[in-house]
A and B are shown apart, each in its own frame.
Chain A
Amino acid sequence: MPDSPKPTPSSPAPTTGLNLTSWSPGEDVIEVQRTPAPGAARGTWRTFAETVRGLATTFGRFRETPVTVQYPEEKTPVYPRFRGRHKLHRFEDTHLEKCVGCSLCAAACPADCIRVVAAENTPENRVSPGERYAAVYEINLSRCIFCGYCEIACPFDAITMGHDYELSDYDRSDLIFTKEMLLAEPLERTPLRNEGE
């Protein structure tokens, strides 16, 4: 074909975009430092020696006692600020509930898992020292994210986060904790971490 001259090897590559053929890494590339590749005999010896060293390492682990925490029997202790299952509190002297049904916890809850229905205190039926009390106080623990905002929002320290983390159940409805359950003295199921532990 005389019309189209054959492109010779010396003709420059099309200069559209980055020219990858003539690109060189330059001086900024850091060369990886490797030890010289060992020969057959030294390589075999090195492999053997490193294998023996590895065997010694694992045998050291074998002689130690295991570090496993045998969970259902032993439990990892929690720190004092651990945020577990909630607790509602009463006054120690009058045994009135601290909760006055203000619903600030429900407002603060990002997971929307707290339901509070307030009712008026009457002289015959006084439940809390304030004007109102929580007639219904429910926490849906299957939705709770244990952020602790309810604890911060509460103006009377009526709700705090406990230490209990064993909250599995066979039914979703069993995970809706009512006021009575939250007020009840919780079973001490979770050990607390001691000072400096």
Chain B
Amino acid sequence: MMLAVVGYYEPWWIQILKAILIFAVGLQLVPVVLLAERKLLGRFQSRYGPNRVGPYGALQPLADILKLLTKEQFRPRTSIGFLFVLAPVISILTAVAAFAIIPFGNTQDIFGTKVGLYGIDVSIGPLYLFAFGGIAFYGIMLGGWSSGSKYSFLGAMRGAAQLISYEVSQGLALLGVIFTAQTLSLTGIVQAQSGMWYIVPQFFGFLIFLTASFAETNRAPFDLTEADAELVGGYNTEFGGGRFASYYFAEYLNVLVVSGIVTTVFLGGWLLPFGIHPPGFLDPFIVLFKMSLVTFLFIWVRATLPRLRYDQLMSFGWKVLLPLATLNALVTAILVVATH
């Protein structure tokens, strides 16, 4: 088995090509997830979901996005114009930036040049993710606040509190993996799983990370920032047309990013179990397949669980998830020290 090259950088022109390619692929994945979510939600509720536009409703996302992009760009008179325009851009930028670190495969020889099948292999992998996750708050916060609407503001405030609370647990849940792998590079973490995927030794870490990720991506049952029934739509109430589409796009791209991180960190990335070593060009498809499984789980949970009350959300985050994550990290640390 070829070892993953950690911290490898290609010539600059390959990096630019890679950036364009990965962005294009990510861009195409979002409508697929959008459609998959609506179809699957339908099936979870014993109905078909969209099936009118195109074969099996396949053109539904295209129709939705075209509709949104051709709508008039309006904003409330009380809004703060500059921030109102900037906020969705921040959301989408951070989501795309976070997408860059997901490793889709090992370094491959393509026409005599070694190319890593990822945007960048930063030596601080998870920290990079949390850094951009931190900036992503501003997308929601500024969007809600600059709308000049109380519902948006409430949604944004809830969102801020929720994201801060759950990012702590999310980070601590990854700590166990980092201790075990003894590297922060995501390709290094995948490489360290060649014996056993971390979902087995780090099962609690996996559960905690997954739960915190539901909250981080503002998905059900933690979608209090949107809370359609209470807040009319939360932070994005006043957004319409292309700006709303940007928020929507960022939300689904975040789901993809988290699926990618779960795949990389807990499900062995591009590795297959039982010692099967497929040719290198299959790596991205293995990663995409695993990502789609995690995304299915996201949609499944959305179809199942009702939204939490706000105080339940907070007490769950701080009183249950955070102690469990801390305990998980502590036990892992002790075990790692004891076995070395």
Contact residues of A with B, CB < 8 Å? 40, 44, 51, 54-55, 57-59, 61-62, 64, 66-68, 70
Contacts and interface: CB of A to CB of B under 8 A. Distances in A.
Interface string B186-204: 0000000000000000000
B48 A66 contact: yes
Interface residues of B, number: 16
7 contacts: A40-B319, A40-B320, A54-B304, A58-B44, A59-B44, A61-B45, A67-B47
A64 B46 contact: yes
Nearest to A50: B305
A68 to B, nearest CB: 5
Contacts of A64: 46
A3 to B, nearest CB: 51
Interface of B: 40, 42-48, 300-301, 303-305, 319-320, 324
B265 to A, nearest CB: 21
A185 B303 CA distance: 48
A51 B305 contact: yes
A58 B47 contact: no
Contacts of B44: 58-59, 61-62
Contacts of A55: 300-301, 304
Pick the most buried of A51, A59, A66, A70: most chain B CB atoms within 10 A of its CB.
A66
Contacts of A61: 43-46
Contacts of A59: 44, 300
A174 B304 CA distance: 47
Contacts of B40: 62
A44 B301 contact: no
B320 A58 contact: no
B43 A62 contact: yes
Nearest to A56: B304
Contacts of A51: 304-305
